[in-house]
Structure 1
């Protein structure tokens, strides 16, 4: 991958991490119970709110640092598929799932390409990220 592509992928990885960190943190603000209740109100088991919130927070931090980029991106992609098909699809493209689709595509890009530039995973795991 050329240096320009690496820089672009770094930017995508960091922004994806920031977005998921913010979304995950918002699930815990004011108590995760609100998110649990919302999950249950739309027919999703409430305990999944803990899993989703934790994956988003920890995964967001991991992406920002460049640790486990591909594995984290798979998990975040699964969350986005869930959000699209269980919540946002009925609202249509612009008012529903457009952001989730963009985040899903970014996650798929990270799975396919990884991100080595300024990646802590490159240092710690000797080029496995």
Structure 2
């Protein structure tokens, strides 16, 4: 274990918590309302359900370190969509009409870091991969 692994672990957990909370707020606010808002900005309404589910389930998965790279790709796609469809007109820092895309861009870079590097420290992925490797070596030895 080194400082980079601990740092990446902290990034993974914070990204997971952030997305979990955003997804949870979508469910609490009513997905029908979110769906209507998605439609009003030109995104199919069913995507609200997909995004909220990915945010909640993916957030939990990142916190425990399960499927980190795959979930991070999904999060990067969600963030790219948020920047393009919602935040871009307001600019980097935002304007009186709404928030800018600086935070979304930062979260997307964080997600891409996890895609490229993974995060094995205190992750279920590392436990499952160790188990699988152990099983393969036992089969080969037999």
TM-score normalised per structure 2: 0.86
Match of 1:26 in 2: 25
Inter-partner Cα distance in structure 1 for 2:52 and 2:10: 23
Question: Kindly tell me: are residues 116 and 91 of structure 1, through their superposed partners in 2, closer, same or farther at Cα, counting changes over 3 Å?
Answer: same
Match of 2:97 in 1: none
Match of 2:103 in 1: 99
RMSD: 1.4
- Are 1:113 and 2:112 matched, yes or no? no
List alignment gaps of at least 5 residues for structure 1: none
Question: Kindly tell me: are residues 123 and 20 of structure 1, through their superposed partners in 2, closer, same or farther at Cα, counting changes over 3 Å?
Answer: same
Match of 1:50 in 2: 49
The alpha carbon displacement at 1:43 in A equals 1.0
Equivalences, count: 127
- Are 1:89 and 2:72 matched, yes or no? no
In the TM superposition, what whole-angstrom CA distance separates every residue of 1:24-64 from its partner, at most 9, and x where no partner exists? Answer: 11111032111101101111100000000001101100000
Inter-partner Cα distance in structure 2 for 1:82 and 1:105: 14
**Rg (Cα) greater in structure:** 2
List alignment gaps of at least 5 residues for structure 2: 95-99, 133-142
The alpha carbon displacement at 1:126 in A equals 2.6
Inter-partner Cα distance in structure 1 for 2:85 and 2:30: 23
Inter-partner Cα distance in structure 2 for 1:105 and 1:127: 31
Contact kept in structure 2, 1:21 and 1:59, CA below 8 Å = yes
Match of 1:16 in 2: 15
Deviates more, 1:74-83 or 1:29-38: 29-38
SS at match of 2:93: helix
